[in-house]
Amino acid sequence: MFPCSAFASGPLSRRDGFLLIWDSIRRPVYETSVQPFTDVSEGEEGYTEITYAKGRKFFDEGMTHFRPDDPLTQEDALIWIFRSRNVVERPSIERSDIHRLLERYPIADFRGDANTQTREEVLDLLMALDTLLIEEVHTVSYYADDFHGKTTAFGEKFDMEDFTAAHRSFPEDTLVQVTNVENRKSVTVRVNDRGPYVEGRDMDLSRAAFEKIAPISQGVLHATFRRLGDVDLVGECEDVPRTYQRRITRDVRFHRGIPHTFSLGETLFLGSNRYFVVRGITFPDGASIRVQDFVGPRERFQFTPSVTGEYRFLVGTVQGNQREMVMSVSSCSREPS
Cα dist from 327 to 199, 282, 312, whole Å: 44, 10, 6
> Percent helix, strand and coil across the chain, each rounded to 5?
20, 30, 50
Residue 48 lies in a domain: yes
- Does 33 share its domain with 123? yes
CA distance 116 to 60: 19
Q: Give the per-residue pLDDT at 332.
A: 66
pLDDT for res 7: 44
User: Which CATH number belongs to the domain containing residue 315 in this structure?
Assistant: 2.60.40.10
Domain interval for residue 28: 14-131
- Residues 91, 184, single domain; the answer is no
> Do 306 and 276 share a domain, yes or no?
yes
| Whole-number pLDDT of residue 261 | 85
Residue 76 inside a domain? The answer is yes
Of 169, 197, 230, at which residue does a domain stop? 230
Q: Is residue 300 part of a domain?
A: yes
Q: What CA–CA distance (Å, rounded) separates 100 from 78?
A: 12
What is the spatial order of strands in the sheet that 322-330 belongs to?
Answer: 261-263, 322-330, 309-317, 276-282, 288-295
pLDDT at 264: 84
User: Which CATH number fits the domain that encloses residue 143?
Assistant: 2.40.40.10
Output the pLDDT for position 4: 44
In a domain, 239, yes or no: no
**Residue 335 domain-assigned?**
no
Averages of pLDDT over runs of 10 residues in the chain (337 residues) are 50 95 87 91 90 95 95 96 96 95 96 86 96 96 86 90 94 93 94 93 95 95 93 64 82 87 84 93 94 89 92 96 93 53
Same domain, 164 and 264: no
Residue 2 inside a domain? The answer is no
Domain boundary among 230, 261, 295: 230
